[in-house]
Structures are given as structure tokens and as C-alpha cells.
Amino acid sequence: MAVTVVNKENFKNEVLKADKPVLVDFWATWCGPCRMMAPVVETIAEEHPELKVCKVDIDENPELAQLFNVMSIPTLAAFKDGQLTGTAIGYQPKENVLKLFA
Amino acid sequence: MDIIIIGSGPAGVSAALYAKRAGADVTVITRGSGALAKAEKIENYYGLAEPVTGAELEANGIAGAKRLGVSFIEDEVVGLAMNEDFTGLVVQTPGRACEAKAVVLTAGSTRLAPKIPGLKELEGKGVSYCAICDAFFYRQKTVAVLGEGDYALHEAEILLPHAGKVMLFTNGKEPAVKIPDTIEVHKEKIIAVEAENANGMERVSGLRTEDGAVTPVQGLFVALGTAGSVDLARKIGAATDNNRIVVDGEMATNVPGLYAAGDCTGGLLQVVKAAYEGAVAGLAAAKYVRSRK
């Protein structure tokens, strides 16, 4: 599956009301480690159909970053049943990201 | 520039030798002697009829690389990033930015962060190790940089245009560089990073110092001493694991063109291991540079 781009308008429907666990990548264009994270996030989206994978550009959606206390990027956040269940900060290899859903 | 090597210990100099002999243009940026120079006597390295001092081995290594035409620049590296179009790497020193097609990190292992209660727990909740990544979140807010040298000043200068107020906390040390008047300097030792609750989650609210005072801050950027290999790797997005840089069999990190060798990749803290890894990294970096021409 492809990575879903989410913003403040569709966050509730795409992430909080999703019917499966969701990985959200909070990122920005000017952040080097975020650029390195992008292909890992895309691979997870392709290899793990049991997860929904989304990304939020924090430049365009500072409200979402603030709501979830995102203060470092990249932040990889796991959501289950509308609840934030875990985060990982900085570049993370695939295995570390998947641990958020273990 | 083709290749910049950060560090001039056995890993850096071996990388320089092999890359230079493979035809690349190689510059070593070093802030001087590292862990090897502190070794009083080395007798477990190949080819030594009599023990030598670490300082002697290091000086011989540098002399040999210079003889082959490797340039050495004495300077401190304070930042590492990708260039604008993500085709090369930029090595930042206090005075300038140098761009290279490939970089080899061989600046040794990093000492661990000080054991200040709250520092580890609040990482990503106000405690940051990368001003360029996270300055955005502190617009008009009060932030502190923990450190005392050029590295701390560099991080503070990145924060200045964004933050409302930038302070430097030296944690008991004297500043090693001149700090401009726009940055407020605090020399007291920090005894705890204080937190408050926001949206049901903890975040940094202040720094408690030994005099009992709490200075309110929303962010704390850690930049103690000089930037080590792992600090630089984190800023550019290279994978790290427990204070070591993750590399493949060619000493390549996950960042295209970025290699690492020696103590910073973990394992044996030995000259023989650093020299081997430097050789592999130097050859791989030279091959990478050729492929980009």
C-alpha cells in the first residue's frame, strides 16, 4: 500500500478512526534525517498491509505536531484505536519502527 | 572536493591512504590528537620490533599520508548535512562549510551524555541533539544549549533566529570560546531537567541548578565538548545503535556517500581494527566518488 499523506483536515478520519494500527511519520522537507527515513517508511507501507502508513508535513500542519507534543523530527508515532501508543525519534531502521507495533 | 575524512587517528589516516592511492582527492579535517595519542606503549600491533608510544605511531601515520599528498586541515567539525539538492555532503566548521562527494567519519567514540536526571527521559520531549532539525519547534520560545565550546556556540547560532531567547548552560565549566552578548551564559551545574504535563504527556519546563533555582526553558539542546562521530551521524540521519554508527561490510552507512570507521562503529577499540576499517572505508568511498563522475 502507498503512504497516505494526512493533514489537519483528514487526520481524524485517516488516523484516529482507522480500522487498523497506524504509523505516522512526522517530517519536514528541510530535515536531513527525515529524508533518510522516507524510503524506510515507504518499504514498511509496501511490506506490512496490516498497518496503515501515513505522513504529516509539520511545516504545513504545526497544529498536529503540537497536539501530539512532537518536538523532534523525524518522529515515528504509532496509533491504535485512536490512541497514541508509542513514538520513536530520529532516523530508525525498519525493525525499530516495527517494534512500536509489537 | 572528492572525499573529506573527519579525524586523523588510525582509521582516518588509513582511509586517507587507501582513497588517495585509489586516485581520489582527499582532505582530512582533524582537531588534533585523539585516543591513540594517549596510549603510553603499543606492542600488540603488527610489525613493531620494539613498543612505540601512541603519539609516535599517530605522528608517523600522518607523516606517511602527507607524503602521499593527503591534505590536512586543523579545525573542529560542528555540523554535517546533505547539500541543497541532496547530491553531496556538507561538512561545517566554525569558519566555513566544505562540500564533498563522500565523507568518512573516523572521529572516535563519543563519551556518553552526563547523568542529569530527566535528560534521557525527556529526549524528544524538549531535549534535542540536533538544532537544525528541531529549531522549528521553538519559535519565540526560551531554549538552552548545554555545552561550552564551538559546537555549543554553533547550535546556539542555529537557534538564535527562531527562538525567543537562547541561553548557554556550561554545567560548571568556563566557556572555551567567546560567546556573543545575544546569548545569556549560565555557569551553574544543572542538577535536573524539570518537566511539566501537556496534553497528558511530559515535556521540558526548566533547568534546576545547584543553587536551587529553576530557570524556565521549553527546550534543551545538548552540545557538550566537541561533536563526536555519533553526534554528526545523528544530525544527517545515519543509523546509530547504542552510541555506535551502523555500517555494512563496506563501512557504508545508510546515507549515500557517508562512511564510518574505527572506534565509532563499535567493537574492539584497537589500532588494527581501526586501520582495517579505514582501509575498507577509503576504498569504498573512492569507488563511490568514481561512480558519481
Same domain, B215 and B133: yes
- Which residues are CB-contacts of A78 (< 8 A; sequence separation ≥ 6)? A21, A22, A23, A24, A84, A85, A86, A87, A100, A101
Instruction: Check if A31 is active-site.
Output: yes
pLDDT attached to residue B112: 63
Same domain, B97 and B16: yes
- Does B125 contact A71 at a Cβ distance shorter than 8 Å? yes
pLDDT at A71 over 70: yes
In a domain, B162, yes or no: yes
The x, y and z cell numbers of residue A13, run together, are: 478520519
* B-chain residues near A31 (CB < 8 A): 133
Q: Are B159 and B128 in contact (CB under 8 A)?
A: no
Same domain, B11 and B105: yes
DSSP-based helix, strand, coil % in chain A, nearest 5 = 35, 25, 40
Beta bridge partners of B74: B30
Same domain, B139 and B188: yes
Which of B137, B141, B148 lies closest to B114, judged by CA? B148
Nearest CA in chain B to A87: B124
Interface of B with A (CB under 8 A): 81-82, 86, 123-126, 128-130, 132-134, 136-137, 198-199, 201, 203, 219, 234-240, 246, 254-255
Same domain, B240 and B95: yes
- Boundary-marking domain end, from B189, B222, B255: B222
Angstrom distance (rounded) from CA B208 to CA B213 = 6
pLDDT at B177 over 80: yes
How many domains does chain B divide into? 2
* A-chain residues near B246 (CB < 8 A): 93
Same domain, B212 and B277: no
Domain span at residue B217? 127-222
In a domain, B186, yes or no: yes
Could you list the beta-strand ranges (E) of chain B. 3-6, 26-30, 71-74, 79-82, 89-92, 97-100, 102-105, 127-128, 142-146, 165-169, 184-186, 190-198, 201-209, 214-216, 219-222, 240-241, 244-245, 258-260
Q: Which of A42, A75, A87, A91 to mutate to test the interface with B (most CBs of B within 10 A)?
A: A91
pLDDT tens-digit series, residues B252-269: 999 999 999 999 999 999
- Boundary-marking domain end, from B171, B203, B222: B222
pLDDT at B111 over 80: no
- Boundary-marking domain end, from B203, B222, B241: B222
Distance from CA of B54 to the nearest CA of A (A): 35
pLDDT attached to residue B81: 93
Same domain, B240 and B184: no
Beta bridge partners of B196: B203
Same domain, B256 and B187: no
Beta bridge partners of B100: B89
- Does A37 contact B237 at a Cβ distance shorter than 8 Å? yes
- Does A65 contact B137 at a Cβ distance shorter than 8 Å? yes
Nearest CA in chain A to B131: A72
How distant, in Å, are the alpha carbons of A39, A75, A91, B68 from that of A33? 11, 10, 6, 35
Query: What is the model's pTM?
Result: 0.90
- Does B238 contact A91 at a Cβ distance shorter than 8 Å? yes
Q: What is the CATH number of the domain that holds B132?
A: 3.50.50.60
Helical packing angle, B10-21 and B271-291, nearest 10°: 40
* A-chain residues near B255 (CB < 8 A): 36
Same domain, B153 and B287: no
pLDDT attached to residue B33: 80
In a domain, B207, yes or no: yes
In a domain, B191, yes or no: yes
Same domain, B191 and B253: no
**C-alpha of B226 from chain center:** 7
Angstrom distance (rounded) from CA B8 to CA B262 = 11
In a domain, B96, yes or no: yes
- Does A72 contact B130 at a Cβ distance shorter than 8 Å? yes
Same domain, B236 and B100: yes
- Does B237 contact A35 at a Cβ distance shorter than 8 Å? yes
Domains and CATH numbers, chain A: 4-99 (3.40.30.10)
The type of residue at B250 is E
In a domain, B117, yes or no: no
pLDDT tens-digit series, residues B193-243: 999 998 778 999 999 999 999 999 999 999 998 899 999 999 999 999 888
Same domain, B46 and B12: yes
In a domain, B116, yes or no: no
Residue B16 φ/ψ, nearest 5 degrees: -60, -45
pLDDT at B175 over 90: yes
Beta bridge partners of B143: B166, B219
In a domain, B182, yes or no: yes
